Structure formats: C-alpha cells, structure tokens
Amino acid sequence: MATIVHHLNQSRSQRVLFVLEELGRPYEIRFYQRNPKTLLAPPELKRIHPLGKSPVVEDDGDVLAETGLILDTLIDRHGAGTTLRPEAGTKERLRYDYYLHYAEGSLMPLGLLSLVFSRLPSQAPFPIRPVAKLLAAGVRKQFVGPNIGHHLRFLNDELDGRPWFAGQDFTGADAMMSFPVQALNDRAGLGRYPNLADWLRRLEARPAWTRATEKGGTLTFEFG
C-alpha cells in the first residue's frame, strides 16, 4: 500500500517527498494550499491530524506528524539496504540523530523569527507601522541576524572535511536540514559559507530531489 503524503505548498513536507524518492517508496500526494493572507494551512488538514499542520503522512495504517519522526519512521520501515540512516552505535549515527533534531529544534526557529519580523511592519495597523518597522529592524539586527550567522558558521565548520552532515554518506539528516538551509539561503545567501553552499548544491543535484520538486512543486519561499 502506498504512503499518503498530505502536502502543503511551500512547506516542510517537501522533505518527506525527498526521502520517499530516495527510498523508492510508492506514495500518493494530496495537495493543500496555504491561505494567501495568513499563510496558514487550510482547515481541511485538521481532518487528518488534530493540529492541522503539514507534513502529515499515512503509512502502514499510522498517521504520522512531525517531520523528524516521519523521516526516521519511513527510513526504519522502508530503508533496508540504503545508507539513509547510519548503523546504531556509530559516530555517524550520533551525528544523524543530532541533526535530525537540530534542524527543527535550533535552526528553524531562527528562520521563523526572521520571517515573522520581516512581515511585521506590513501586517501591523497603519498608524503604528513606523514603530513596528523600527522594532522589527532592531530585533533582526540585534538578535535574529547575529544568531543566524552564528549557526551558519557552525554548520560551515561541521562540513569541513565531510560531504554530508552525518559523514561520508547522504542520510535522512541531510534531507531534514534541507528546508531551513534553503530558506536561509533564499533570504540571505550562503556566499560566506562555502562548505554549506557546496553541500546544498550537492543535495539539490540529487535525482531524488529533482523528482520530489517535479511532483511536489518548486520551493520559492515567496511567502517570506
């Protein structure tokens, strides 16, 4: 039975399609569109999972949410014979587990803060827009920007001497890291982080990424 991916446009669920393509796992996409004003997922997603967020996946009779859990479960169930998850007890597995959690736990919140404060002036009531603009600029300059730079330097150093985040092989951890790095690249570029830029080029050159993009849509981050 094919896996069902409840896929929201311009969202983290692109990573699920990516991993399914790497696995060669048959899947069906059910498409949902963001509200163009609020950027929120449509209420129809709540029929699949109470939180109404994407990605949500139906696989082997289970409804799975949270990208890290989804990717790790898909690899656990359908990844025999692949290198998408390193062997337990190895240093590579430890790095895999770290980046599986780091992507959403540490890096993605900074990207979301950048998005929120970039949109704040235009979303604020007209009379207070000048104040909102000053507030947003201050937060981005004093907090968000420096912290993003700190993390990008860390990631660039982590890729010094290794092609992928867990080691020599592409794994689900790289797929997990794709969305936040692509979002930050779209907003500010990776010119000062050559190792990270090279990693992203290698990732987007993978045939599985090309197929996932053809089926799920190109990520443009225009909502940001």
Domain at 64, CATH number: 3.40.30.10
pLDDT for res 223: 45
Same domain, 101 and 193: yes
Same domain, 99 and 131: yes
Same domain, 95 and 31: no
Place of tokens 């998005």: 115
Q: Which of 78, 99, 114 corresponds to the end of one domain?
A: 78
Q: Which residues contact 123 (CB under 8 A, 6 or more apart)?
A: 132
User: CA-to-CA distance for 167 and 93, rounded, in angstroms?
Assistant: 9
- Whether 132 is covered by a domain: the verdict is yes
**180 close to 15: Cβ distance less than 8 angstroms:** no
Same domain, 70 and 95: no
Same domain, 13 and 114: no
- Whether 45 is covered by a domain: the verdict is yes
pLDDT for res 97: 98
Same domain, 128 and 101: yes
- Given a cut of 70, the residues of the chain with pLDDT beneath it are 113-124, 126-127, 131-143, 222-224
Same domain, 140 and 187: yes
For residue 126, give the amino acid letter.
F
Place of tokens 């991993």: 19
- Whether 43 is covered by a domain: the verdict is yes
- Whether 83 is covered by a domain: the verdict is no
Question: How many structural domains compose the chain?
Answer: 2
- Whether 198 is covered by a domain: the verdict is yes
pLDDT for res 218: 85
Q: Which of 53, 78, 103 corresponds to the end of one domain?
A: 78
Structural domain that includes position 19: 3-78
Same domain, 111 and 182: yes
Same domain, 197 and 110: yes
- Whether 108 is covered by a domain: the verdict is yes
Same domain, 163 and 185: yes
Q: Which of 55, 78, 101 corresponds to the end of one domain?
A: 78
Same domain, 154 and 70: no
Same domain, 73 and 96: no
- Whether 212 is covered by a domain: the verdict is no
Sign of the C-alpha dihedral computed for residues 118, 120, 121 and 123 taken in this order? positive
Q: Is 32 helix (H, G, I), strand (E, B) or coil?
A: strand
pLDDT for res 39: 74
Report the CATH number that the domain containing residue 189 is assigned in CATH.
1.20.1050.10
pLDDT for res 222: 56
pLDDT for res 59: 97
- Whether 222 is covered by a domain: the verdict is no
